[in-house]
Structure 1
Amino acid sequence: MEESSCKPHPNNLRNAAVALLVPLPSLLFYLSFLRRCSATESPESLSPLWAWCYHHPLLLANALFFLNVNLLFWLVGLLQSSHWMIDMYWTVIPVMLVHYFATHQIAESNGLRSRLVILLTWIWSLRLTHSYFRRERWQWGAREDWRFSDLRRQFGTNWWWMSFFAVYLSQQVFLIAICLPLYVIHTKDSQINAWDVAAALVCLTGVTVAYFADTQLHNFVSCNERRKQLRQSLVPNLDEGMWYYSRHPNYFGEQLWWWGLAVFAWNLDSGWSLYGAFVNSLCLAYVTILVEERMLKQEYRAQAYKKYQETTSVWIPWFKTSSAGKEN
Structure 2
Amino acid sequence: MDYPALLFATAAFAFGAVLLLWLLSIPLRDVSIIDMAFAGILAGIGVLAFVLAGTIAPLQLMLLGMVLAWALRMSWHLLRRNWGHGEDPRYARLRSWVDNERAFIWLSLRQVFLLQGVVIWLVALPLQVGMLAPAGMTPGALAWAGFALWALGLACESIADHQLTRIRADPSKRGTVLDTGLWRYSRHPNYFGELCVWWGIFLVACEAPWGFATVIGPLAYSYLVINITGQRTLDKKMAREKPAYKHYMESTSGLIPLPPRRRA
Q: TM-score w.r.t. structure 2 length?
A: 0.90
1:107–1:186: 8 Å Cα contact kept in structure 2?
no
Q: 264-273 or 166-175: which moved more? A: 264-273
Displacement of 1:171? 0.8
> Kindly tell me: are residues 133 and 75 of structure 1, through their superposed partners in 2, closer, same or farther at Cα, counting changes over 3 Å?
closer
- 1:92 aligned residue (29, 32, 40): 40
> Kindly tell me: are residues 55 and 210 of structure 1, through their superposed partners in 2, closer, same or farther at Cα, counting changes over 3 Å?
closer
> Kindly tell me: are residues 200 and 304 of structure 1, through their superposed partners in 2, closer, same or farther at Cα, counting changes over 3 Å?
same
- Matched with 1:174 is 119
For 1:267, what is the secondary structure of its paired residue?
coil
Displacement of 1:296? 2.5
Render the CA deviation track for 1:257-296: whole Å, top value 9, x for unaligned: 0110111222324222110111111111122222122212
For 1:297, what is the secondary structure of its paired residue?
helix
Displacement of 1:220? 0.8
Displacement of 1:100? 0.6
- 1:304 aligned residue (237, 240, 244): 244
- Note if 1:184 corresponds to 2:129: yes
- Matched with 2:54 is 107
Displacement of 1:108? 4.1
2:183–2:189: 8 Å Cα contact kept in structure 1?
yes
Percent identity reads 28
> Kindly tell me: are residues 235 and 207 of structure 1, through their superposed partners in 2, closer, same or farther at Cα, counting changes over 3 Å?
same
1:69–1:168: 8 Å Cα contact kept in structure 2?
no
Amino acid in the other structure paired with 1:236: T
- Matched with 1:144 is 87
Gaps of 5+ in 1: 1-42, 44-52, 228-232
- Note if 1:118 corresponds to 2:64: yes
* More helix per residue: 2
Displacement of 1:96? 1.2
- Note if 1:203 corresponds to 2:150: yes
Displacement of 1:55? 7.3
Displacement of 1:95? 1.6
> Kindly tell me: are residues 144 and 323 of structure 1, through their superposed partners in 2, closer, same or farther at Cα, counting changes over 3 Å?
same
- Matched with 2:161 is 214
Amino acid in the other structure paired with 2:14: F
- 2:211 aligned residue (243, 246, 270): 270
- Matched with 2:24 is 76
**Between Structure 1 and Structure 2, whose CA radius of gyration is higher?**
1
2:130–2:206: 8 Å Cα contact kept in structure 1?
no
Aligned partners of 1:64 and 1:116: how far apart in 2? 22
Aligned partners of 2:81 and 2:28: how far apart in 1? 21
> Kindly tell me: are residues 75 and 135 of structure 1, through their superposed partners in 2, closer, same or farther at Cα, counting changes over 3 Å?
same
- 1:159 aligned residue (104, 107, 113): 104
Aligned partners of 1:142 and 1:93: how far apart in 2? 22
Kindly report the root-mean-square deviation, in angstroms, between the aligned alpha carbons of the 2 structures: 2.2
Amino acid in the other structure paired with 2:155: T
Amino acid in the other structure paired with 2:162: T
Gaps of 5+ in 2: none
Render the CA deviation track for 1:91-145: whole Å, top value 9, x for unaligned: 21122111111111x4345x21111111111211121122113323xx3x53233
- Matched with 1:65 is 14
2:187–2:253: 8 Å Cα contact kept in structure 1?
yes
Amino acid in the other structure paired with 1:152: R
2:50–2:131: 8 Å Cα contact kept in structure 1?
yes
Q: TM-score w.r.t. structure 1 length?
A: 0.73
1:266–1:274: 8 Å Cα contact kept in structure 2?
no
Aligned partners of 2:143 and 2:178: how far apart in 1? 36
